[in-house]
């Protein structure tokens, strides 16, 4: 039996999905359910003077109406600052104000529109700059009193600062005094959305003895249990959360959102089953989005291109509530340099409240935002030093022995090899140092380069687990708490087991739905950590299987367990491979010919707890936040028309140090997906707010994504520098394809147009404006 590691294995859920058979949360029949819909605020900041539900509640079929006064609780991933339904004050347009439960969805929606709310508008802030002004209105006057779930999140009382993390390394003044070239730049990225194909949905019911069942589209079923338990003082064991297939999540389904509302609605109707759905418009305006970012960057380098010092200031626009954003400000601080060695470094990363839709994790966990800023600045600095952009990056690439921003000593195992990625990218692009090539009078071909790196920022005690059982035909069931969000994580885990047990991957079955009562806890399906965390748990479980089989084999063959071999779904003595016991005859215990029973049914387990991580030292930011980094180099090639500022994306390429290739096509696809998302986000996606602070385009008619037919040629190649503490040496890759793409596109467009690109999205009008702006100042 040869290994399946490195093979192109079809995803375990592929047939369900391509045949349309895969069932998502809201695909279950609706009979037997009451229906809930949400009323949201039209104001970005206002006092709720009164809510009059009298007309709505008289509508036939309305069963309950819930407002913020019914359950005055606060929720939050890191800082409990968010009432699931606004109470007294609304802080963004789109915030839930009331929930109606009714016999049909139509009645619920009709009733929602009959609720009369009287608001007193308050002054609102729509940028981090405004929010930091001395006389800025405070979004959270009680900020200092909120419960902190994670103690390293430290909000600044009587301000709009939800948290701050900083990095201090080396000596900044000395570093800059050694610089030959220094550049200073400001960048600005607006918020945008995840836009998973499946909108969020949830169902809830409570049994007469108080057992709560939640079915939801979530990346974090175990967090739903914990937050419901903590918010409403329910014993966690009374809550069961079930997650079927999830139709895309991208970080947007990691926070607990609608689950609170569905639970409250369900309580109000005495536990009757409630189905809560949102429209696409609400999924965009009400549910959390991707954060906005403003940055001020200063980098200095010697004449040979060696970077000597940098200062970075990041202002994250988290919107009305903090959710996981304080940890994004931490992640940005920890990884602020990109995969480069910057000996003298200062970084301040602020997480700021504004009256925008609140934000949450989004593919790349903030990395794509800061990387746009840093890699744009790197490009300009390379030019100022008169260096080739690839060589400049190679010169500064982090190497073993260098210190990362959080002062971890870099090794090949914990960082990978950025230099090799750049070298391989050069070959892939046939790089000749020319960023721009003329096609005709108006059109040029331009290439932009950017590097990426990312480490995860999980809680230091995140867990994962795995249970293996067998079927009567000898095939294996793998049970983990990993949610199938489209990244193919479960298939990779099956490949790992197949290799370890030397069995055919066809005989490995996966439980695709996650039920918190049945599946062992996996922290959250986030941060691209499935291979590492669940992988380690699964490998332990596979070892447990081997041990159990070998123990039984030893009893059967009357030899030492070490003399037993397990392969091809058979157990045999190493020296007598032709005399074997098939799995089907041993996995439920063995029966000899004369009827004697030997051993026990095989039920194996493996569990994993993150270790060796620490919180950051508050002043210097020294500490270990994640197990390892993944590095890569990316490029985008465009055809730019200098006469009308339109452009076509021709090619997007990535070379990533994946540690070990587990499933080549599967991994390429996930990186293609990341690149596509990055191109879409940076070329066109934006949450545009009107003067009243409402989203201008909260629907797919007006909010545009990259469509089929606009996709460029995608190229992916791998570098394999093993991460020694990870199964097979594999690294996290699921998010990473997106990270350098906005910067690479920005660099390509800057080279093609001569425009100093400092903002997203890069629409032709934006480019035209920037160019005209230059004309004006002349």
Site string for other proteins, 82-111 (x = CB under 8 A): -----------------------xxx-xx-
CB proximity list for 460: less than 8 A, separation 6 or greater:
610, 613, 614, 615
Site string for other proteins, 627-656 (x = CB under 8 A): ----------------xx------------
Q: What is the 3-state secondary structure (H, E, C) of 44-87?
A: CCEEEEEEECHHHHHCCCEEEEEECCCCCCCECCCECCECCCCC
Torsion angle (degrees, nearest 10) of CA 327, 331, 332, 335: 170
Among 134, 430, 611, 701, binds other proteins (CB under 8 A): 701
Residues 652 to 681 in contact with other proteins, rule: CB under 8 A: none
User: Given the complex with other proteins, which of 310 and 686 has the nearer CB atom?
Assistant: 686
Q: What number of other Cβ atoms are within 10 A of residue 116's Cβ?
A: 11
Among 16, 585, 688, 759, binds other proteins (CB under 8 A): 688
Look up residue 408 and give its two tokens: 């971890």
Among 7, 130, 585, 710, binds other proteins (CB under 8 A): 710
Q: Minimal distance in Å, beta carbon 649 to other proteins?
A: 11
Site string for other proteins, 209-238 (x = CB under 8 A): ------------------------------
Among 707, 775, 777, 778, binds other proteins (CB under 8 A): 707
Q: Minimal distance in Å, beta carbon 104 to other proteins?
A: 10
Site string for other proteins, 746-765 (x = CB under 8 A): -----------------xxx
For residue 709, state whether it binds other proteins (rule: CB under 8 A).
Answer: yes
User: Given the complex with other proteins, which of 107 and 542 has the nearer CB atom?
Assistant: 107
For residue 700, state whether it binds other proteins (rule: CB under 8 A).
Answer: no
User: Given the complex with other proteins, which of 109 and 122 has the nearer CB atom?
Assistant: 109
The tokens 């606060």 sit on which residue? 74
Look up residue 534 and give its two tokens: 């669940």
Among 177, 207, 270, 702, binds other proteins (CB under 8 A): 702
Question: What is the C-alpha to C-alpha distance for residues 108 and 110, in angstroms, rounded to an integer?
Answer: 5
Stretch that binds other proteins, among 60-68, 346-354, 658-666, 698-706 (CB under 8 A): 698-706
Q: Minimal distance in Å, beta carbon 37 to other proteins?
A: 8
- How many CA atoms does the CB half-sphere of 270 hold within 13 Å? 2
- How many CA atoms does the CB half-sphere of 499 hold within 13 Å? 19
Among 344, 414, 630, 697, binds other proteins (CB under 8 A): 697
Task: Using DSSP, state whether 22 is helix, strand or coil.
Answer: coil
Q: What is the DSSP letter of 551?
A: H
**Residue 80 CB-density burial (10 A; 0-12 exposed, 13-18 middle, 19+ buried):** buried
Q: Minimal distance in Å, beta carbon 32 to other proteins?
A: 19
Q: What number of other Cβ atoms are within 10 A of residue 430's Cβ?
A: 6
Cα–Cα separations (whole angstroms), residue 378 to 76, 371, 375, 403, 417: 36, 10, 5, 19, 19
CA torsion through residues 725, 727, 728, 731, sign: negative
The tokens 């819909």 sit on which residue? 37
For residue 684, state whether it binds other proteins (rule: CB under 8 A).
Answer: yes
Q: Minimal distance in Å, beta carbon 240 to other proteins?
A: 29
For residue 769, state whether it binds other proteins (rule: CB under 8 A).
Answer: yes
The site that binds other proteins (CB under 8 A) totals a number of residues, namely: 27
Look up residue 347 and give its two tokens: 């970084």
User: Given the complex with other proteins, which of 279 and 607 has the nearer CB atom?
Assistant: 279
Would you tell me which residues interact with other proteins (CB under 8 A)?
Answer: 105-107, 109-110, 112-113, 279, 281, 643-644, 683-684, 688, 696-697, 701-702, 704, 707, 709-710, 763-765, 768-769
């Amino acid at each position: 039996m040869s290994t399946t590691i490195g093979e192109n294995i079809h995803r375990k859920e592929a047939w369900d999905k391509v045949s349309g058979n895969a069932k998502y949360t809201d695909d279950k029949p609706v009979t037997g359910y009451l229906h809930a819909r949400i009323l949201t605020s039209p104001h970005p900041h206002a006092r709720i003077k009164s809510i009059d539900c009298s007309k709505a509640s008289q509508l036939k079929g309305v069963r309950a109406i819930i407002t913020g006064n019914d359950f005055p609780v606060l929720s939050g991933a890191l800082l409990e600052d968010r009432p699931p339904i606004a109470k007294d004050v609304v802080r963004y347009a789109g915030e839930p104000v009331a929930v109606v439960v009714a016999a049909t969805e139509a009645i619920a929606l009709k009733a929602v529109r009959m609720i009369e709310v009287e608001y007193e508008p308050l002054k609102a802030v729509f940028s981090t700059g405004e929010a930091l002004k001395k006389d800025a209105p405070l979004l959270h006057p009680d900020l200092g009193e909120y419960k902190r779930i994670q103690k390293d999140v430290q909000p600044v009382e009587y301000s709009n600062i939800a948290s701050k993390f900083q990095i201090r390394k080396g000596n900044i003044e000395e570093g800059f005094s050694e610089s030959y070239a220094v550049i200073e730049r400001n960048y600005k990225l607006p918020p945008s959305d995840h836009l998973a194909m499946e909108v969020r949905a949830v169902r809830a019911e409570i049994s007469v003895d108080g057992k709560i069942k939640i079915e939801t589209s979530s990346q974090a079923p175990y967090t739903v249990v914990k937050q419901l338990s903590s918010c409403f003082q329910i014993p966690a064991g009374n809550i069961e959360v079930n997650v079927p297939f999830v139709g895309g999540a991208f970080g947007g389904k990691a926070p607990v959102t609608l689950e609170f509302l569905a639970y409250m609605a369900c309580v109000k109707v005495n536990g009757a089953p409630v189905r809560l759905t949102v429209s696409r418009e609400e999924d965009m305006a009400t549910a959390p989005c991707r954060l906005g970012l403003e940055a001020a960057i200063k980098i200095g380098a010697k004449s040979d291109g060696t970077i000597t010092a940098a200062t970075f200031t990041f202002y994250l626009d988290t919107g009305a509530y903090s959710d996981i954003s304080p940890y994004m400000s931490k992640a940005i601080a920890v990884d602020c340099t990109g995969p480069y060695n910057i000996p003298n470094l200062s970084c301040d990363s602020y997480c700021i409240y504004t009256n925008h839709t609140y934000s949450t994790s989004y593919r790349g966990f903030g990395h794509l935002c800061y990387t746009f800023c840093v890699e744009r600045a790197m490009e300009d600095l390379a030019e100022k030093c008169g260096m080739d952009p690839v060589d400049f990056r190679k010169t500064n690439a982090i190497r073993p022995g260098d210190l990362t921003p959080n002062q971890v000593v870099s090794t090949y195992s914990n960082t990978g090899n950025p230099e090799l990625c750049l070298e391989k990218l050069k070959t892939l692009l046939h790089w000749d140092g020319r960023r721009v090539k003329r096609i005709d009078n108006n059109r040029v071909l331009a290439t932009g380069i950017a590097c990426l790196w990312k480490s995860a920022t999980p809680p230091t005690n995140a867990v994962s687990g795995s249970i293996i059982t067998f079927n009567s035909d000898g095939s294996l069931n793998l049970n983990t708490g990993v949610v199938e969000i489209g990244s193919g994580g479960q298939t990779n885990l099956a490949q790992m087991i197949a290799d370890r047990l030397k069995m055919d991957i066809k005989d490995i079955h996966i439980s695709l739905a996650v039920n918190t009562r049945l599946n062992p806890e996996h922290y959250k399906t986030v941060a691209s950590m499935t291979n590492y965390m669940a992988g380690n748990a699964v490998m332990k479980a596979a070892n447990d299987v081997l041990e159990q089989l070998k123990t039984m084999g030893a009893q059967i063959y009357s030899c030492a367990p070490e003399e037993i071999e397990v392969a091809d779904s058979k157990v045999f003595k190493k020296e007598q491979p032709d005399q074997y016991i098939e799995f089907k005859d041993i996995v439920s215990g063995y029966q000899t010919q004369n009827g004697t029973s030997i051993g026990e049914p095989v039920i194996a387990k493996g569990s994993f707890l993150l270790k060796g991580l620490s919180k950051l030292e508050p002043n210097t930011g020294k500490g270990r936040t994640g197990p390892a980094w993944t590095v890569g180099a990316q490029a985008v090639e465009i055809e730019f028309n200098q006469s009308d500022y339109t452009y076509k994306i021709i090619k997007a390429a990535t070379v990533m140090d994946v540690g070990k290739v587990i499933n080549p096509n599967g991994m390429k696809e996930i990186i293609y997906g990341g690149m596509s998302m990055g191109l879409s986000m940076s070329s066109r996606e934006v949450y545009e707010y009107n003067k009243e602070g409402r989203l201008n385009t909260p629907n797919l008619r007006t909010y545009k994504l990259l469509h089929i037919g606009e996709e460029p040629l995608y190229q992916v190649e791998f570098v394999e520098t093993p991460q020694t503490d990870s199964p097979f040496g594999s690294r996290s890759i699921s998010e990473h394809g997106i990270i350098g793409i906005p910067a690479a596109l920005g660099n390509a467009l800057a080279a093609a147009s001569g425009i100093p690109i400092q903002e997203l999205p890069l629409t032709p009008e934006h480019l035209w404006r920037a160019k005209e702006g230059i004309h004006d100042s002349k």
